[in-house]
Amino acid sequence: MPSLRLRAAEPDDTPGICALLGAVFPANPKRDPDVYAWQYWDNPFGPPSVWIWEDDGRPVAHGGVFATPGQVAGAPALLGHAADSATASAYRGRQLFAELAAARYRRAGELGMPATLSLPNPSSLPGTVKAGLVPIERVVAWVRPLDDAWLAGRARLPRPLVTGLRRVGFKTLPAGAAEVLDAPPAGLAGLWSRVAPGFGSGVARSPQWWQWRYARNPIRSYRYLAARRGGRLAAAAVVGDVARGAFSYRYVFELL
């Protein structure tokens, strides 16, 4: 279509981008301009690579890469994190996303990100592969049931049996084994320095990451857990409650 144009996005495009994201993925928190600006334009780790297809000045496809602290094979590196791939329904099937994806990854490299991480959904996976990304693994979800009555009903088993199986399968720490905090725990830098050598490649879970990703998140509240051994931080986690339809989950966002 001659009215279509691919270009790099600017902060002034945020309202139109958020309208597109909200229409394609109503549950995407980046439909809120404040959340979108926090992740992309106000990111402290570096400028983003954000690209859009527009039709008559209106964004109809979007793909972004935001900067994250990271490491590759144990060496520190600024990494890109691809996110928020979306194409308006009327514009799908025209091979728009592959060209957009290639542009955003190319620009991310020019901005000093030697590698990009992506968690594509099934719709965007073919386009990301065409743009040069290499699938490494499928994301695996681990679930610990907390509601024995619900699980017994789903499995059609007696509730006492379900409770017994859960207690065998999931050990419970004694009360007081971990602190529950409203802010990232002290000692994260030391904990990350001990974890990082065996971490390999990925986002560096440094104190700066925890502060930006969680403490400064504009819409979500998190709780932090910390376990100490001999006064030194030995483990830390971030949890938050996430609603999905009729159910809610306590989601573990970080675990060091």
> What share of the chain has pLDDT > 70, as a percent?
99
CB atoms within 10 A of CB 74: 12
Instruction: Compute the Cα dihedral for 177, 183, 187, 188 and give only its sign.
Output: positive
Over 70: is that where the pLDDT of 218 sits? yes
Instruction: Choose among 13, 5, 10, 8: nearest CA to 53.
Output: 5
What does the pLDDT read at residue 1?
Answer: 62
Q: 190 near 233, Cβ under 8 Å?
A: yes
Lowest mean pLDDT segment, chosen from 22-26, 147-151, 213-217: 147-151
* More confident call, 248 vs 194: 194
How many percent of the chain have pLDDT more than 90? 61
Q: What is the pLDDT of residues 17-51, one digit of tens each?
A: 999 999 999 989 999 999 999 999 999 999 999 99
- Name residues whose C-beta falls within 8 Å of residue 64's C-beta, 6 or more positions apart in sequence: 9, 39, 40, 48, 49, 50, 51, 82, 83, 84, 104
**How sure is the predictor about 55, in pLDDT bands with cuts at 50, 70 and 90?**
very high
Q: What integer best gives the mean pLDDT of the chain?
A: 91
| Residue 7 confidence class, pLDDT cut points 50, 70, 90 | very high
Burial 228-246, CB ≥16 within 10 A → b, else e:
beeeebebbbbbeeeeeee
Model confidence band, residue 204 (pLDDT cutoffs 50, 70, 90): very high
Please give the residue that has the higher pLDDT: either 169 or 24. 24
Confidence of residue 246 (pLDDT cuts 50, 70, 90): confident
pLDDT of 64 over the 70 cut: yes
d(CA 182, CA 28): 25
**pLDDT recorded at residue 122:** 81
Which residue's structure tokens are 């728009």?
A: 96
Residue of 187, 39, 202 whose CA lies nearest to 115: 202
Q: Is-above-0.75 flag for pTM?
A: yes
Q: What is the pLDDT of residue 137?
A: 83
Residue 65: the pLDDT is 97
